[in-house]
């Protein structure tokens, strides 16, 4: 059985009225994913037909969203730095704030030949940097084998498996004796309290989000160990959470560093250079 999009609009209106937590944009994104039609096409062509199976997929997606599951997990797609990434519940969902980290890497060290991406997750940072820095070699590590499987899928999608190399391990442990032109990381930086206060992120791997009581355990570890793995003149760039800069700055007093804010004016990226 075929359904015209315009005939389903009253049902969409009813869903929105019954479930005020849902937004029309979310439903349009889900319908686009279920049908394979672009959102703009759906809006502009109400006479277009969708099949019963596509309608069932859409209804299942709506049910998952009503339970709080993030849209990217439902659609298995997340846009990041103008690229489309596959994501599922094995990995952290890339956030817009992390694009600031990639921008900093491309601004301060675009020609880095050897780059380490600590805690790569879906591979977002490694892929975005590699696409925009064609002569780089990136070593992307994660403690989670599951996350690395997602990253591998994305790396192959963009044909970067000859330039991005995946390594399983905890922080710098797999890289003894190695050094890099640049070390990048969007580490876990939430406190357990912050994690508990945001139910929607409970769908994501807790280890990719929470780093100790104050949320800065992993950042402190990178700062404690990282310079050993950076080449002379090399960079360490770390994404931080709200209010963390003031706690971190005393740890690097006297070193060559700067803080970059995001579009909301929050201290977001710490840039440390090895002299």
Q: What is the pLDDT of residues 114-145, one digit of tens each?
A: 999 999 999 999 999 999 999 999 999 999 99
pLDDT for position 55: 85
Residues 28 and 107 in one domain: no
Which domain CATH number covers 128?
Answer: 3.40.50.150
Last residue of a domain, which of 13, 41, 67? 67
Output DSSP code: residue 162.
Answer: T
Sign of the alpha-carbon torsion through 191, 192, 197, 202: positive
Integer angstrom CA distances of residue 196 from 3, 80, 174, 182, 193: 42, 26, 32, 33, 5
Residues 95 and 167 in one domain: yes
> Per the domain annotation, does 75 fall within a domain?
no
- For residue range 55-92, what is the model confidence (pLDDT) as tens digits? 899 889 999 998 999 999 999 999 999 999 999 999 99
Residues 17 and 59 in one domain: yes
Strand runs labelled E in the chain = 2-4, 49-51, 78-80, 83-85, 114-118, 137-142, 164-168, 180-185, 230-239, 256-261, 267-273
Number of domains in the chain: 2
The sheet with strand 267-273 has its strands ordered as 164-168, 137-142, 114-118, 180-185, 230-239, 267-273, 256-261
* 3-class secondary-structure state, position 208: helix
- What does the pLDDT average to over 5-22? 58
What's the rounded Cα separation, in Å, for the pair 199 and 214?
18
Last residue of a domain, which of 20, 42, 67? 67
Rg of the chain taking only CA atoms, in angstroms: 21
- Show the domain range for 236: 80-273
Residues 49 and 93 in one domain: no
Residues 56 and 105 in one domain: no
The residues near 254 (Cβ < 8 Å, ≥ 6 apart) are: none
> Can you give the pTM of this predicted structure?
0.92
Strand runs labelled E in 10-132 = 49-51, 78-80, 83-85, 114-118
CB 211 within 8 A of CB 161: no
């Amino acid at each position: 059985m075929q359904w015209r999009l315009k005939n389903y609009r009253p049902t969409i209106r009813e869903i929105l009225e019954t479930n005020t937590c849902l937004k029309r944009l979310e439903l349009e994104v889900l319908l686009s994913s279920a049908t394979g039609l672009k959102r703009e096409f759906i809006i502009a062509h109400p006479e277009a037909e969708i099949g019963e199976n596509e309608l069932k997929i859409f209804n299942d997606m709506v049910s998952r969203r009503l339970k709080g599951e993030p849209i990217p997990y439902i659609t298995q797609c997340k846009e990041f730095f103008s690229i489309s990434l596959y994501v599922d519940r094995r990995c952290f969902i890339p956030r817009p704030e992390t694009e600031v980290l990639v921008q900093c890497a491309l601004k301060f060290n675009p020609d880095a030949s050897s780059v380490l991406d600590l805690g790569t997750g879906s591979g977002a940072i490694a892929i975005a940097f590699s696409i925009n820095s064609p002569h780089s070699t990136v070593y992307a590590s994660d403690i989670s084998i599951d996350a690395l499987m997602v990253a591998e899928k994305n790396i192959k999608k963009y044909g970067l498996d000859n330039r991005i190399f995946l390594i399983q391990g905890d922080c710098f442990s797999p890289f003894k004796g190695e050094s890099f032109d640049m070390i990048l990381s969007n580490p876990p930086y939430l406190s357990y309290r912050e994690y508990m206060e945001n139910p929607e992120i409970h769908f994501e791997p807790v280890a990719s989000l929470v780093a100790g009581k104050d949320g800065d355990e992993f950042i402190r570890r990178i700062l404690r160990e990282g310079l050993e793995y950076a080449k002379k003149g090399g960079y360490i760039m770390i994404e931080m959470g709200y209010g963390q800069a003031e706690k971190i700055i005393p740890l690097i007093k006297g070193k060559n560093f700067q803080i970059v804010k995001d579009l909301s004016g929050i201290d977001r990226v710490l840039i440390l250079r090895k002299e």
